Every structure is written in structure tokens, then in C-alpha cells.
Amino acid sequence: MRILFVDDDAGIRSVARLSLERVGGHTVELCDSGHEALRTAPIFAPDLIILDVTMPYMDGTDTLRELQQMPQCADIPVFFLTANTQPQEIEKYKELGVLDVIAKPFDPMTLPDIINKLLGVHRTSEEKPVDEQLKKLQEEYAGQIPGKIQQIKIIWEELTQGEWNRESFKNMHLIAHSLSGSGKTFGFHALSEAARNLELLLKQNSESDVLPAAGQREQINKMLNALENIIINPVQKVHPKKEDGLIALPGEHLQKHLRRTIFLLEEDTKAAHDLALQIGYFGYNVCNFSGVKEIQDALTHSSPSAIIADIMSLKDTDAGIKAIKEIKQASEIEMPIIFISANDDFDSRLQAVSAGGSAYFTQPVDVSTMVDKLDTLTSPGISEIYRILIIDDEPELAEYHALILKTAGMTTSIITVPEKIMEQVIEFRPDLVLMDVYMPRCNGMELAKVIRQKETFVSIPIVFLSSETDIDKQLKAMSLGGDDFLTKPIQAEHLVSAVTSRVERARILRSFMIHDSLTGLLTHTRIKEQMDIEVARAERQKSKLAFALIDIDHFKQVNDTYGHPTGDRVIKGLSRLLKQRLRKIDIIGRYGGEEFAVILADTDGHKAVETLDNIRNDFAQIHHRCGNDNFSSTFSCGIASYPVYRYPSELNEAADKALYKAKHKGRNRIVLAD
């Protein structure tokens, strides 16, 4: 069965795919929003759609209504996914046209059985072991928890210290709702309960235009502290159970993946606060400890992604290094250690290395360089899943090859009608195309030439899969646009190996071609190509899109005053901030020099302004260092939106003019094109 699963929570989507594909044996396509579901459903042609009820921008009920208006989707059965399973609510949903409701959180091991029962179908396929995959998903989810809690805290601080904003408060409520629903699915029962309590309290004020009363604010603060304590002390709070469909993990193994939390050993309160604030802008949660005993106690309950220790923070010059040695001996926890010190002599550096230090920074610390090192040391090293597009006129054979690749952890999409190739290449964005040579209407060689006609798709590897054994014909096929030729039948491990090696090689080469060497962002040429693709997608799917041009203010003055290496660090700092704060579906490029371009899919102009303005405010607070000098930078931004401007050239020109207005009005601001 083909199932389209729609939920804005990435963790829930991942565990649903694993459950439905590995346990249920279904073919699954994931969407993170109602807008994406409307784009995907006509192409994927699912047998069932599962919709989360509570999603931003377009919720489940709105998405359902839109699907019912689409002739090709109107008859597809739809299940709602929600934590609100009161009988009256279920009846209300069924009146809207929903076939049934699945309770959230769900058990990954029994979700396929629930679906089959609701559909009146009895599963006959044997369950496959998924404990290892579920364990990995649980670890990845654990790594996302600190960032979500930090998001809630930042929004709440802005609301209580500045002007009340109902939309921001709703966003805060939505994040709490997400934690409440997804936490228990992954075995984080205490987290889910705490988030649920917070969600219920926030819900009472979700439609209010004024700040909650003092008593309610105090309750919210207490609940936020409770959530934060769960993050710092996960062993006491996380108890995955087999009946939840998860295997209980050793505490220290699970905690290791709370990778955005940093422990700081620093006696100077002001220095600790300043450093924590600066690192925090880049998405790290910093916990400060002034003494050895405090940090040792904390390490018995939780494990951060790294420790930063000021070796001069205690009275004795060597006390910091001795403290780290004591901590490592007592806890036996392996994690990166970064030392900071006022000394830059050889002996101090050697002591740090002997204590297991991974890096050494002299004070005053260049935060940008330190964050670079933190990113490197704490990176989980998990690459994106390979996306393989399979083209074969025999559906059963295509499904067989898709199953092999899915078992190896890849995402697949199948086309049995060649005429749909260009539309699917744009929508699915494959890393590789696996194509039969002989098909009706047009053969694989002709289809490869059609794909290669679009300059954007020239670099996508095309691998032919055919029973053709004639070497001359194989070579001819490859000369007409193919990159490799595999002969049917092919052993499963050989298929996986061939596809993996081709994708890895293509990704490396493509990265060199399309990414800027300094920032890792897309190049000017590539971002313009992506603009063409995204505008075409928005036009076809009748969705929104925003295009932003960002320029660092007075950047020539930065280079002239502090030198080009310092200017490069400022550019890298902004690029890192954009990558960490924007969504994965947003496209970021370095347009040239100190100028950046951002394409925000499914986003109107006003929402784009709100998003980038938050980033602008934080960028202005970041301190950059050059020798003994300390300075900050700002940026200006111009935004244009589709469909106000319908063509890529118009969007570019309008955003450029809006950027000019922002500069003319005094810089450090965002202007939306009329």
C-alpha cells in the first residue's frame, strides 16, 4: 500500500517511515506541511493519507478540504493523527470526511496493525526487526530536544520583555504541542508530560492579545524550568520501554546525543555569561559551573556534547587542567574538551593536550572561531539519505529494486510512465536515476537525453539497469547520457554498492561545483538555477515563495580596518547563522562578496520578514575579534515575494531594489518590496 504521511515534526515523520516501511511493508512518502502534501499527493498517488491535525500555516482540516477539491485526490481515504481523541472530536473529524483517527503518540511496532484494522485489512507479512533503526531515531530525536526547548525560551523572553505578539505566542504553543506528541513516541515520557502541561497552560491564552497575568507567567516560568531540567538530567527522565516499541538504552549512550549542550567551567560569572550568550546565538545551550564539584555532580546525570574549561578560572594556574583530569577519571565519559586560557606559552598548551584537550583558545576568545571548532567536534556526521528515482515500465520489478534500496536506508520514488519524468525530477530532487533501457514509447537512452537537456540536471548520475548484455549497446547507452550500466538480474548487495558509490562520488563532485569554498553555501550560478526551479514549482502548485537578498553593512570598512581574514570570519559567521536558523527546505547561497541570497519555500513576504528579522537581531549581537579589538556587524535585507512578482528576474530585481531602500534608510533593517 502507498501511504502519504504528513506531519511537521521531523522525528515523528522518521519513525513513521520506519514503522510503515519496515514493519508494515508499505511504500511511504513524507511531507512536512499541508502545502507540500497538496503538491505531492497527485504525483505520488497514495492509497491512504495520514494527516497531522495541528500544523503551522495550513492545518490538517484545511489540507483535507483542499484535497477534497482535487479530482485525483478526492476519493483517497484520509486518517487524522492527533492527541485529541475525545469522542466528540472524532465525530467532528469524521463529519469533515476523515475515515478515522489515529491517536498520538502512536506505538511504532503496532501502527501498521492499527491502520490495517481501521481499513478492515489483516496483515499477513511477517514483522521485521526494527529495534536498531528505532534506537538510532531515538538518539537523533534526543539531539533535537535542547534546540526546541531553547526556541520556546527565546520566544517567551521576547514576549515578556517586549511587545506582545499573538502569532509568536501561538508558535510557542505549537512547539510545546510538538514535544508533547513526539516525546512519548520516542520513549521520553517525562518530557512529553512536562510539555503537555505547558501546552495546556499556553492554550488558555492562545487567542489573547495581552500578556498573561502574573500568576500564569510564574506558572509558565516554572514549567519551562522543568523542561530545562529534563534536558540537563535526561537519565532521570528518559525510560524507553519495550511496550512503547522502543528498546531501553543505556543512559550514557542516549545522553551522548544531547549534542547542543555545552558545559562551561568558568569561575568569572560575567565572563561565563558573555561567552554563553555569544555561543547561544549559534544554537548551543550553555550550562555554567564555577567549581569542580558542581560539574562532577552534573556529569553523573547527563553528558554534554563538549566541555569548555578556563584553566585559569581557579586559584591555581594548573587547577583547570587538574579538574578536567579528575572529571574524566571519575566519570569515564569521552567527550571533546576545549581549554581557554590567558596563557599562550608552549607548556600550557602541552598540559592541555596531555589532559585530553581537543582545542585551545587564548583569551579574549574569538567566538566565531570557537563555534567553528564546536561545530566540527560535535557534528553528528549523519549524511542526508540518498534519494533514488527508479524508472521502469514493469511496476513489480521497479518495486523490487525499490525495496532493496529502501532496506539499505535509501528513499525511492517510482515512475512507470516516462512522460512524467521531468515533473518528478523537479519534485523529488533525486541523487541518482536508475533507469530501464527498453520501455514503450521511448527507450532509456532517449529519456536520458531528455533529462540532460536541462542544464540543472546535467550532473545527476543516470544508471541503466537492463538485461542487455551486448557490450557495444551498453557503451552506446552510456555515451548518450548514462554514467553506468548494470545487468539484470543483479544481486541486492551489488545494486546497493553500485548505487552508493555513484551517489557518493556525484555528491563530492557536485559539492565542489555548486558550493562556495569559504561558506559551503550555493554559488551565485547555482542559487539562480534554484530560483528558476522553485518559481516553476510555486507556479505549478499555486504556493507562495519569498526571495531575500542580504548584504553585510559597511563590509569594506571591516576589511580595511581589520583585514580580509577577519572579514572572511564575519562572512562565515553569518553563513553559519543562516544555515542553523533557517529551515532545511530553505535554499541559501552566497551571491557574491558579502552578499547572500535566500529562497524560502511556502513562505509569504511578511513571514519571511519576521524570520530574517530575528536572525538580523541576533547577528548584530555577535562579537567578532581581531587581536585586542572587539566589534559587531549588521546586515540589511531586501525581500520580494511570489506571486506578487511572478518571474525570477522580477523577484531578483524587486529584492535588489528593496535592499537598496534598506541601505538608504540607514542600514541594519529589512524592507519588503511592494
Residue 464 and residue 437 in contact, taking contact as beta carbons nearer than 8 Å: yes
**Position 142: which residue type?**
A
Q: Which residues pair with 548 in a beta bridge?
A: 598, 639
Is 594 marked active-site?
yes
CB atoms within 10 A of CB 28: 22
Instruction: Say which amino acid occupies 453.
Output: Q
Angstrom distance (rounded) from CA 195 to CA 231: 12
Are 375 and 369 contacting, i.e. CB atoms less than 8 angstroms apart? Answer: no
Q: How far is CA 658 from the centre of its chain?
A: 29
Of residues 530, 504, 486, 480, the one with CA closest to residue 431: 504
Catalytic residue among 139, 427, 594, 595: 594
The strand pair at 462-466 and 484-487 is best described as parallel
| 3-class DSSP assignment, residue 92 | helix
> Which residue has cell 531528455?
450
Residue given cell 536558523 in the structure block: 581
Element (H, E) at 658: helix 648-664
In the three-class reduction of DSSP (H, G, I as helix; E, B as strand; rest coil), residue 251 is classed as helix
Listed in sequence order, the residues at least 6 apart from 561 whose beta carbon sits closer than 8 Å to its beta carbon are none
Task: Give the CA distances from residue 498 to residues 140, 464, 490, in Å, rounded to whole numbers and listed in that order.
Answer: 28, 11, 10
From the list 355, 357, 301, 359, the residue with the least C-alpha distance to 329 is 355
Q: How far is CA 121 from CA 4, 95, 115, in A?
A: 18, 23, 8
How many other C-beta atoms lie within 10 A of the C-beta of residue 269? 10
Task: Confirm if 380 and 143 have CB atoms less than 8 A apart.
Answer: yes
The DSSP line for 438-491 is: --SSS-HHHHHHHHHTSGGGTTS-EEEEES---HHHHHHHHHTT-SEEEESS--
Contact status, residue 181 vs residue 105, Cβ threshold 8 Å: yes
Instruction: Tell me the C-alpha distance between 284 and 267, whole Å.
Output: 20
From 29, 25, 196, select the one nearest 111 (Cα to Cα). 25
Residues with catalytic roles? 594
